[in-house]
Each structure stands twice: as C-alpha cells, then as structure tokens.
Structure 1
Amino acid sequence: MRALAIVLLCLAVTWNYGSVEALRCIQCQSTNTTCETPILECNNGTADVSLELLKILKPDLATKEKGDKFRCFEVDVKKDENLVYIKGCIYDDVDVCTGETKEGAQEYCHRCTDDVCNGASALAINISLLLGLVLALRTYSKW
C-alpha cells in the first residue's frame, strides 16, 4: 500500500506539472457583479479585443510591443451611479491599472497570471494533487 501511495503521488505531481496549458481568463463587460463568463483562452486575439476596449476607456493607455505572454485583468469603473466590470486577457507588458479613464472613475484594478484569477472566486484546488497527498498521509500515519 505504501508503494502504491508513493507511485500515485508521483503520478499526480508529474501529470499536473507535465502538461502546459494556456492561460484562461474571464472575458466580459457588465454592470452585474456576476460577470463570470465566458472563460476564454488567452491569445493574441482575446488580448487584442481587450486592448481595443481598454483604449476606448483609457485613451492614453501605454502599449509596448505585443508579446506572447498574457495576464488576466479586472478593471471596475464607476460612472454616474453604476459600477461597470471589465474583465479579460491582456498582454503582459500592458499595465491596465495605470492612466486616467475617459469617463467615470476607476474604483478597482487587478492583474494576475493564474487561470480564471479575474473572477470572484479565484481560488482553485487541484483535486488530483490533493487526493495524492491525502493518500500519502493516510499511508504514513495512523489516520
């Protein structure tokens, strides 16, 4: 049983770190706090869409050379009595949190590099790694 637990734990770790996936971000604009879909893969296309939208909101937004690294973001802007949530994928070099907004006032801004980290519940638990750890603990302790 002990050997099986070690093998399963090693497989879980290898499986989780051996596969590289693209960053995924929530991509939406809404006055609703539950702006949580769609979740799209970050690439040049989704980053370009967000960049064009943000340039309307922040005309002086500094953009450097576009690369192949991305971040998720959330910018909340208060206009009149409404709070508008803008979430998406942006190029790593673009700092969406700087600069003045054309209309309204920026209330919140966040950039991050984990999957779906621009959502309300950005905490993600890797189930296979957790199960491997529990199995290993159970094997080595009197649980």
Structure 2
Amino acid sequence: MKYLLVGIVLALLSFQAIDALKCMQGIEATKGNSQDKNNNQKNEKPLEVTECGAATAVASTALLALVKPSSFNIPTGGYKCYHLKYEEKNSEASTIIKGCIYSSVDVCDGKFSSSNLNEVFCSQCDIDSCNSGGRFGLDWKLLSLILTALVAYLL
C-alpha cells in the first residue's frame, strides 16, 4: 500500500514538472520621494504570474526592445523569465521590467547606458517564478507532495 502511495506522489510530482513555465510579468516604476512612490503604487497594476506562450513572449520582447534594443534577436522555441532594472540618470526614478521571453533573446548581454538611462540589475532564468522576489522559497505544492510521500513511506 505504501508503495502505491509513493508511486502516486511521484507521478503527481512529474506532472507538475511538465507544466509550462510561469513568470512574473509587468512593469514597476518608482520615483525618488516617498509621496510619489505611494501615488505610483496606488495607480499601478500589480505584477502578475503568467504562463509563457507566444503572446506573452512577443509582448515582453516588444517592451524590452523599447528600452534595450540591442538585446533583440530572432525568436526561437523555448522560453525563459527575465528581470531588468534601470534608473534615470538625472533623477531617483527607477523602473523594473519583468516578463517571459524567447530563450534566444539575451537580455543580460552586457549593461547598457544611454544619455538618460542606466542599467542597474539584470537576470534571466528558466524556473517557475524565478524572476520574483520570493524565488528562493520552496513551492508549497512540491513541499506538501514530498511530505505526503515521506509520511506514506514511514507508515
């Protein structure tokens, strides 16, 4: 009986691994002083977790091409998440762009700097929600399935 339960849990784990890549998507802009930050946060749409697909990759690539045109490349099959932060040189305003792009697009091909923008941070990855702030935590579904398998095995 316990081998059956462990087998079911392992099957569920493998189905979870087959799911499409999910990335945080959106823009987060902040201004220098705290009053402007509060106003921005009230007006902004929060970042959302989206499933990577052709539509989200094209939208993110177009947004990225506006800021960093040198990163554009011929799109190919797979997907990856990215996180890009840049600041305006003459103010304390900064912008964070997160999204899903084709795996052939190299977002972090070197820091860019223009007459009014300066890149601060860039990362790209291919794990679910890896471009979010909580990427270092365990997925709760995965953790609960592992604990269930462990309990089933010990019983």
Q: TM-score range by the shorter chain?
A: 0.7 to 0.9
Spell out, residue by residue over 1:5-33, the C-alpha distance to the aligned partner (whole angstroms, 9 max, x if none): x3222211111213521111111101259
Asked whether the 8 Å contact 1:31–1:83 carries over to 2, the reply is: yes
Segments ≥4 residues shifted beyond 4 Å? 32-36
Counterpart residue number, 2:67: 57
Counterpart residue number, 1:17: 14
Q: Which runs of 5+ in 1 are unaligned?
A: none
Counterpart residue number, 2:81: 72
Counterpart residue number, 1:45: 55
Counterpart residue number, 1:120: 133
Q: Secondary structure at the match of 1:54?
A: helix
* TM norm structure 1: 0.81
d(CA) in 2 for partners of 1:83, 1:60:
20
* TM norm structure 2: 0.76
Asked whether the 8 Å contact 1:26–1:36 carries over to 2, the reply is: no
Counterpart residue number, 1:26: 24
Higher helix share: 2
Q: Secondary structure at the match of 2:122?
A: strand
TM-aligned CA deviation for residue 93 of structure 1: 0.9
Counterpart residue number, 1:98: 109
RMSD over aligned Cα, in angstroms? Answer: 2.4
Q: Secondary structure at the match of 1:52?
A: helix
